[in-house]
Structure 1
Amino acid sequence: MVRTIPAKTILQKSRYEPSEWFGVDYVINLYRGCTHGCIYCDSRSNCYGIKDFEDVQVKEDSDVLLAKALHAKKKSGVISTGVVSDCYNIHEQDLRVTRSALSIIADCRFGADVNTKSPLVTRDIDVLQRISWANSASVRFTVTAADDALAKTVEPHAPSSSERFSALKEVSDGGVFTGIMLTPLIPFVTDTRENIEQIVELAHQGGAKFIYTLGGISIRDGQKEFFLDNLKHISPKLARQFKEVYGASYFCYSLELNDILKRMRELCDKANIAYHMDDIIKASKCQADREQATLF
């Protein structure tokens, strides 16, 4: 189910400095809610105020609002989308709201940072190429598990991990800066050495330029209950273990984080994949410079 909701504004300044988070200056959320059913989704938290999260809402006249906001800016910047709700949910195939927004971003010569779990992003490679030629464009595929079966237990209705890796390769082959958001890292579920090794290898095969992880999972009111209830269905033992170890903690770091980060960095160094934020931002700007140079 999808319904239209009114919106007065569409463009928001990022709460982070560009140097802190992928060079992002602004954020747009074109949709509210999501159909992926991920048991860990922070956007279910009460602070976002999204009721009936599985019923996707699309913001009315988002293209008009975005064009007006960008034309009013004296200086360009990088715009991130898909942060709260996947901008390539199943309804985007027909609604084309994200494609329209990216086209406006390209026309106004701003940069774009796309966050998704969907291979539908490959439909818009042509627009992303236009953006990268004028500014910078990047696509971040969220991947929590290399194994499709494991991923399905925590992301029951999302595209499979193998579909995402295939899409990553297609986007990368199209010349767009692309990488992996290895987040969340779910304690006792996805934080294994084997999973990390497989993700890095598949990312390398797909042409990923970066892998970034926060090293754990955030748990807030509203989302916490949903997560633990679903974890209990997967394994009552896991749910009890999680509560015993983390209690009321907001951010739950993997107990295996030191070993995981060490191994991930070893493999990324061999594959020339960036994993520090400053290196990722530098690499994205270098790619943007190369793309722009091909025009002349």
Structure 2
Amino acid sequence: MHYVNSKSILSGQNGMNLYRGCSHGCIYCDSRSEIYGMNHLFEDIEVKENSLELLKKELIKRPKSMIGCGSMSDPYIPLEKNIKFTRKALKLIDRYGFGFTCITKSDLILRDLDLLKKINEKSKVVVQITLTTSDDELCRILEPNVCDTSRRVDVLKILNDNDIPTVVWLCPILPFINDTEENINSILDYCIDNNVHGVVCFEMGLTLRKGNRKYFYEKLNQHFPSLREKYITKYDNNYNLLSPNNNKLMNIFKKRTSEHGILNNNDEIFGYLSDFPQKSVQSKLI
């Protein structure tokens, strides 16, 4: 871990990353890609020391809207347990009457259930949870340093019980590893049982580019030694690696989500995530 001072904290679309880098260890993580210009080891997490001061200034002057978090680094990495920057950011979001959405794989988000409920009562909260495999043992290989799938499903249930909307990211689906009908159907069962509002899916596959490709292949050698050459032969240096089962699995995905009234169009889901409700919100004084 190391601290830096940042020039800004919110993007033009009101996205923020309080941290850069991650310790979850997911073998497929696109955020490792060199395109993002991270000039430190991925596990040496960069903490934006002045992020909360910057966030407060932005919230005072910006129109009420949804604040997003987690597009590059999970806001609930283990470091958050002690530093609590995400919790402190939620307090500011609550204070100034904004909405909140984040993408996470961690059950640490339940620590902040009190704040999520407060914000949701006044404006809107949507929690986005990534599910890649229904097999907890496989999950511990693919995403080794974060809670397994069954625990994430517990999180979905708890959030649903507390009337907090959820969206599931069904990705990535790794060719020859978790691209099976059984896996997709099991994950969709979890979504249906817990009243998930939408499921984000960019087809059944994953993306690899310079940086994360090297790490991914190292992990294939470690855990699936027969698959590296199979990947190289089939996909070479392609960016988009579609599963051979893509069409069949996408048909299952679209059919089952449609039958149960779950959003499955990514544009519609992203529109829902960014839509700020026209509620009467009284911001507290500074």
TM-score (norm: length of structure 2): 0.90
Distance 2:277 2:6 in 1: 32
* Aligned twin of 1:61: 50
Change (3 A) 1:226 1:63: same
1:197 Cα offset (Å)? 0.3
Q: For residue 12 of structure 1, give the secondary structure of its aligned residue in structure 2.
A: coil
1:283 Cα offset (Å)? 5.9
Q: For residue 104 of structure 1, give the secondary structure of its aligned residue in structure 2.
A: helix
Q: How many residues align?
A: 279
1:111 is the counterpart of 2:103? no
2:165 counterpart (163, 167, 177): 177
1:162 counterpart (139, 142, 150): 150
2:197 counterpart (181, 205, 209): 209
1:284 Cα offset (Å)? 6.0
1:130 Cα offset (Å)? 2.6
Distance 2:233 2:185 in 1: 28
Distance 1:92 1:108 in 2: 22
* Aligned twin of 1:123: 111
Change (3 A) 1:187 1:103: same
* Contact 1:133/1:291 (<8 A) preserved: no
Distance 1:112 1:66 in 2: 13
1:189-204 → structure 2 map (5 Å cutoff): 189-204=177-192
* Aligned twin of 2:213: 224
The code of the aligned residue for 2:109 comes to V
TM-score (norm: length of structure 1): 0.87
1:97 counterpart (71, 85, 90): 85
The code of the aligned residue for 2:132 comes to T
Query: C-alpha deviations, 1:214-259, integer Å up to 9, x for none?
Result: 1221111111111111112222221111111111111222221111
The code of the aligned residue for 1:46 comes to E
* Contact 2:99/2:276 (<8 A) preserved: no
Distance 1:291 1:229 in 2: 52
* Contact 2:16/2:67 (<8 A) preserved: yes
1:253 counterpart (234, 242, 248): 242
Distance 2:52 2:223 in 1: 41
Distance 1:183 1:218 in 2: 10
* Contact 1:136/1:284 (<8 A) preserved: no
Stretch deviating more after TM superposition (282-291 or 173-182):
282-291
* Aligned twin of 2:284: none
Stretch deviating more after TM superposition (33-42 or 228-237):
228-237
| CA RMSD, 1 decimal | 2.2
Q: For residue 108 of structure 2, give the secondary structure of its aligned residue in structure 1.
A: helix
1:161 Cα offset (Å)? 0.7
1:54 Cα offset (Å)? 1.4
1:134 is the counterpart of 2:125? no
The code of the aligned residue for 1:91 comes to L
Distance 2:280 2:137 in 1: 38
* Aligned twin of 2:222: 233
Identical amino acids, percent of aligned pairs: 33
The code of the aligned residue for 1:193 comes to E
Q: For residue 3 of structure 2, give the secondary structure of its aligned residue in structure 1.
A: strand
* Contact 2:70/2:102 (<8 A) preserved: yes
Structure 2 segments unaligned to the other structure (5+ residues): 282-286
1:287 Cα offset (Å)? 11
Change (3 A) 1:77 1:289: closer
* Contact 1:133/1:288 (<8 A) preserved: no
* Aligned twin of 1:22: none
2:175 counterpart (187, 198, 205): 187
Q: For residue 252 of structure 1, give the secondary structure of its aligned residue in structure 2.
A: strand
Distance 1:175 1:39 in 2: 33
Q: For residue 46 of structure 2, give the secondary structure of its aligned residue in structure 1.
A: strand
Distance 2:21 2:36 in 1: 10
Distance 2:261 2:279 in 1: 18
The code of the aligned residue for 1:126 comes to D
